[in-house]
Amino acid sequence: GAGVSQSPSNKVTEKGKDVELRCDPISGHTALYWYRQSLGQGLEFLIYFQGNSAPDKSGLPSDRFSAERTGGSVSTLTIQRTQQEDSAVYLCASTPMVGTGELFFGEGSRLTVL
Amino acid sequence: GESVGLHLPTLSVQEGDNSIINCAYSNSASDYFIWYKQESGKGPQFIIDIRSNMDKRQGQRVTVLLNKTVKHLSLQIAATQPGDSAVYFCAENPNNNNDMRFGAGTRLTVKP
Protein backbone atom coordinates (compact mmCIF):
# COMPACT_ATOMS: atom_id res chain seq x y z
CA GLY A 1 0.00 0.00 0.00
CA ALA A 2 0.89 3.63 -0.20
CA GLY A 3 1.04 4.30 3.51
CA VAL A 4 2.19 2.73 6.75
CA SER A 5 -0.03 -0.21 7.59
CA GLN A 6 -0.58 -1.50 11.12
CA SER A 7 -2.39 -4.54 12.38
CA PRO A 8 -4.48 -5.33 14.25
CA SER A 9 -6.30 -2.01 14.43
CA ASN A 10 -7.87 -3.09 17.71
CA LYS A 11 -6.77 -5.73 20.19
CA VAL A 12 -8.46 -6.66 23.44
CA THR A 13 -6.55 -9.05 25.65
CA GLU A 14 -6.53 -10.33 29.18
CA LYS A 15 -3.93 -9.32 31.70
CA GLY A 16 -0.94 -11.63 31.55
CA LYS A 17 -1.29 -12.56 27.88
CA ASP A 18 1.31 -11.76 25.24
CA VAL A 19 0.45 -9.60 22.22
CA GLU A 20 2.13 -8.89 18.90
CA LEU A 21 1.56 -5.74 16.90
CA ARG A 22 2.66 -5.50 13.30
CA CYS A 23 3.86 -2.60 11.19
CA ASP A 24 4.41 -2.51 7.43
CA PRO A 25 6.33 0.67 6.64
CA ILE A 26 6.30 2.56 3.38
CA SER A 27 8.40 0.72 0.82
CA GLY A 28 11.92 2.07 0.67
CA HIS A 29 11.80 3.84 4.03
CA THR A 30 14.87 2.89 5.97
CA ALA A 31 13.88 4.23 9.37
CA LEU A 32 11.03 2.88 11.48
CA TYR A 33 9.73 4.13 14.83
CA TRP A 34 7.31 2.80 17.42
CA TYR A 35 5.47 5.23 19.71
CA ARG A 36 2.87 4.73 22.39
CA GLN A 37 -0.01 7.14 22.93
CA SER A 38 -2.09 6.88 26.07
CA LEU A 39 -5.51 8.51 26.18
CA GLY A 40 -5.22 12.26 26.01
CA GLN A 41 -1.44 12.16 26.06
CA GLY A 42 1.39 12.87 23.70
CA LEU A 43 3.50 10.33 21.90
CA GLU A 44 5.97 8.34 23.94
CA PHE A 45 9.00 7.13 21.99
CA LEU A 46 9.59 3.38 22.32
CA ILE A 47 12.11 2.15 19.78
CA TYR A 48 13.78 3.13 16.53
CA PHE A 49 15.26 1.08 13.67
CA GLN A 50 17.56 2.49 11.01
CA GLY A 51 18.77 0.19 8.26
CA ASN A 52 21.05 -2.54 9.56
CA SER A 53 22.17 -0.57 12.59
CA ALA A 54 21.44 -1.73 16.10
CA PRO A 55 18.02 -0.41 17.15
CA ASP A 56 17.67 2.40 19.66
CA LYS A 57 15.69 0.72 22.44
CA SER A 58 16.05 3.49 24.96
CA GLY A 59 12.32 4.20 25.12
CA LEU A 60 11.09 0.71 25.91
CA PRO A 61 9.40 0.95 29.34
CA SER A 62 10.30 -2.52 30.60
CA ASP A 63 11.83 -5.81 29.53
CA ARG A 64 8.33 -7.06 28.74
CA PHE A 65 8.53 -4.95 25.59
CA SER A 66 10.58 -5.99 22.57
CA ALA A 67 10.59 -5.29 18.87
CA GLU A 68 12.21 -6.64 15.80
CA ARG A 69 12.43 -5.66 12.20
CA THR A 70 12.90 -8.43 9.68
CA GLY A 71 14.63 -7.84 6.39
CA GLY A 72 14.68 -4.11 6.97
CA SER A 73 10.96 -3.89 6.35
CA VAL A 74 8.15 -5.31 8.51
CA SER A 75 8.41 -4.73 12.25
CA THR A 76 6.73 -6.52 15.15
CA LEU A 77 6.29 -5.04 18.61
CA THR A 78 5.78 -7.72 21.25
CA ILE A 79 4.45 -7.10 24.75
CA GLN A 80 4.75 -10.03 27.12
CA ARG A 81 2.62 -10.59 30.19
CA THR A 82 0.49 -7.56 29.43
CA GLN A 83 -0.62 -5.25 32.23
CA GLN A 84 -3.55 -2.86 32.33
CA GLU A 85 -1.20 0.12 32.11
CA ASP A 86 -0.09 -1.16 28.70
CA SER A 87 -3.47 -0.13 27.33
CA ALA A 88 -2.81 2.54 24.72
CA VAL A 89 -2.59 3.19 21.00
CA TYR A 90 0.67 1.95 19.54
CA LEU A 91 1.75 3.98 16.56
CA CYS A 92 4.32 3.03 13.97
CA ALA A 93 6.02 5.55 11.70
CA SER A 94 8.55 5.35 8.92
CA THR A 95 10.75 7.89 7.21
CA PRO A 96 13.17 7.73 4.33
CA MET A 97 15.81 9.70 6.16
CA VAL A 98 17.06 10.25 9.64
CA GLY A 99 16.51 13.64 11.18
CA THR A 100 14.10 15.08 8.65
CA GLY A 101 11.27 14.99 11.14
CA GLU A 102 8.67 14.06 8.57
CA LEU A 103 7.50 10.79 10.00
CA PHE A 104 4.74 8.98 8.14
CA PHE A 105 2.45 7.40 10.70
CA GLY A 106 0.13 4.47 10.50
CA GLU A 107 -3.30 4.65 12.07
CA GLY A 108 -2.18 2.74 15.11
CA SER A 109 -3.10 -0.39 16.99
CA ARG A 110 -5.38 0.21 19.94
CA LEU A 111 -4.56 -2.21 22.75
CA THR A 112 -6.94 -2.77 25.63
CA VAL A 113 -5.80 -4.97 28.49
CA LEU A 114 -8.63 -6.14 30.71
CA GLY B 1 -1.22 26.30 24.88
CA GLU B 2 1.01 23.24 25.01
CA SER B 3 2.01 21.62 28.25
CA VAL B 4 3.02 18.27 29.58
CA GLY B 5 0.42 16.94 31.93
CA LEU B 6 -2.64 14.80 32.42
CA HIS B 7 -5.16 17.04 30.66
CA LEU B 8 -5.05 17.97 27.01
CA PRO B 9 -5.07 21.76 26.57
CA THR B 10 -7.91 22.96 24.40
CA LEU B 11 -8.48 25.85 22.07
CA SER B 12 -11.85 26.74 20.63
CA VAL B 13 -12.16 29.20 17.76
CA GLN B 14 -14.85 30.43 15.42
CA GLU B 15 -14.69 29.36 11.80
CA GLY B 16 -12.83 31.96 9.80
CA ASP B 17 -10.82 33.27 12.74
CA ASN B 18 -7.08 32.79 13.06
CA SER B 19 -5.77 30.19 15.52
CA ILE B 20 -2.55 30.29 17.48
CA ILE B 21 -1.31 27.12 19.16
CA ASN B 22 1.65 27.41 21.47
CA CYS B 23 4.35 25.03 22.56
CA ALA B 24 7.15 25.38 25.09
CA TYR B 25 10.01 23.03 24.32
CA SER B 26 12.48 21.76 26.83
CA ASN B 27 15.86 21.23 25.22
CA SER B 28 17.89 24.30 24.33
CA ALA B 29 20.05 22.07 22.09
CA SER B 30 17.09 21.18 19.88
CA ASP B 31 17.71 22.38 16.36
CA TYR B 32 14.70 21.09 14.48
CA PHE B 33 11.00 21.41 15.24
CA ILE B 34 7.91 19.98 13.68
CA TRP B 35 4.17 20.47 13.99
CA TYR B 36 1.87 17.49 13.49
CA LYS B 37 -1.91 17.31 13.19
CA GLN B 38 -3.78 14.27 14.50
CA GLU B 39 -7.41 13.74 13.57
CA SER B 40 -9.55 11.38 15.59
CA GLY B 41 -8.68 7.74 14.99
CA LYS B 42 -5.73 8.53 12.76
CA GLY B 43 -2.00 8.81 13.08
CA PRO B 44 -0.33 12.22 13.24
CA GLN B 45 0.33 13.99 9.96
CA PHE B 46 3.24 16.34 9.27
CA ILE B 47 2.19 19.98 8.85
CA ILE B 48 5.29 22.12 8.82
CA ASP B 49 8.83 22.15 10.16
CA ILE B 50 11.42 24.74 11.05
CA ARG B 51 15.13 24.64 11.78
CA SER B 52 16.76 26.63 14.54
CA ASN B 53 18.51 28.98 12.10
CA MET B 54 15.10 30.39 11.20
CA ASP B 55 12.50 32.21 13.29
CA LYS B 56 9.58 31.99 10.90
CA ARG B 57 8.38 29.70 8.18
CA GLN B 58 5.18 29.85 6.18
CA GLY B 59 3.14 27.18 4.51
CA GLN B 60 -0.31 27.08 3.09
CA ARG B 61 -2.50 28.87 5.69
CA VAL B 62 0.01 27.93 8.40
CA THR B 63 2.94 29.79 9.87
CA VAL B 64 5.39 28.49 12.45
CA LEU B 65 7.25 30.92 14.68
CA LEU B 66 10.29 29.99 16.71
CA ASN B 67 11.63 31.98 19.64
CA LYS B 68 14.82 30.30 20.79
CA THR B 69 15.42 32.81 23.55
CA VAL B 70 12.41 31.62 25.50
CA LYS B 71 12.22 28.15 23.90
CA HIS B 72 8.81 28.77 22.45
CA LEU B 73 7.20 27.54 19.27
CA SER B 74 3.84 28.54 17.85
CA LEU B 75 1.63 27.43 15.00
CA GLN B 76 -0.65 29.98 13.42
CA ILE B 77 -3.53 28.82 11.26
CA ALA B 78 -5.18 31.47 9.13
CA ALA B 79 -8.91 31.45 8.41
CA THR B 80 -9.50 28.35 10.49
CA GLN B 81 -11.88 25.82 8.98
CA PRO B 82 -13.91 22.97 10.51
CA GLY B 83 -11.47 20.53 8.91
CA ASP B 84 -8.72 21.99 11.05
CA SER B 85 -10.33 20.53 14.17
CA ALA B 86 -7.78 18.06 15.52
CA VAL B 87 -5.05 17.61 18.11
CA TYR B 88 -1.87 19.47 17.25
CA PHE B 89 1.52 18.29 18.51
CA CYS B 90 4.83 20.03 18.45
CA ALA B 91 7.91 17.85 18.34
CA GLU B 92 11.59 18.60 18.82
CA ASN B 93 14.57 16.71 17.51
CA PRO B 94 17.58 17.45 19.69
CA ASN B 95 20.84 17.20 17.83
CA ASN B 96 19.37 15.33 14.90
CA ASN B 97 19.19 12.12 16.88
CA ASN B 98 16.62 9.39 16.57
CA ASP B 99 14.37 10.38 19.43
CA MET B 100 11.63 12.74 18.28
CA ARG B 101 10.14 14.28 21.44
CA PHE B 102 6.48 15.10 21.23
CA GLY B 103 4.55 17.46 23.44
CA ALA B 104 1.21 16.52 24.97
CA GLY B 105 -0.80 18.20 22.25
CA THR B 106 -3.50 20.87 22.02
CA ARG B 107 -7.02 20.04 20.95
CA LEU B 108 -8.35 22.62 18.47
CA THR B 109 -12.11 22.83 18.02
CA VAL B 110 -13.51 25.00 15.26
CA LYS B 111 -17.07 26.21 15.79
CA PRO B 112 -19.17 26.81 12.68
pLDDT digits (tens, 9 = 90+) for A6-59: 999 999 999 999 999 999 999 989 889 999 998 877 889 999 898 888 888 989
Domain extent, residue B98, equals: 10-111
Q: Residue B41 sits in a domain of what CATH number?
A: 2.60.40.10
* Alpha carbon distance B73, B62 (integer Å): 13
Query: Does the distance separating the beta carbons of B4 and A101 come in below 8 Å?
Result: no
Q: Residue A90 sits in a domain of what CATH number?
A: 2.60.40.10
Number of domains in chain B: 1
Asked if the structure places residue B46 within a domain, the reply is yes
A40 contacts in chain B (CB < 8 Å) = 6-8
Asked if the structure places residue A111 within a domain, the reply is no
All residues at 6 or more sequence positions from B29 whose CB lies less than 8 Å from its CB, including other chains: B94, B95
Model pLDDT for residues B56-75, shown as the tens digit of each residue: 999 999 999 999 999 999 99
CA B28 to chain centre: 17
* Alpha carbon distance A97, A94 (integer Å): 9
Name the pLDDT band for B103 (thresholds 50, 70, 90).
Answer: confident
Asked if the structure places residue A91 within a domain, the reply is yes
Of B4, B7, B32, the CB nearest to A101: B32
Asked if the structure places residue A102 within a domain, the reply is no
Domain extent, residue A16, equals: 5-96
Half-sphere exposure in the Cβ direction for A72 (13 Å, CA): 10
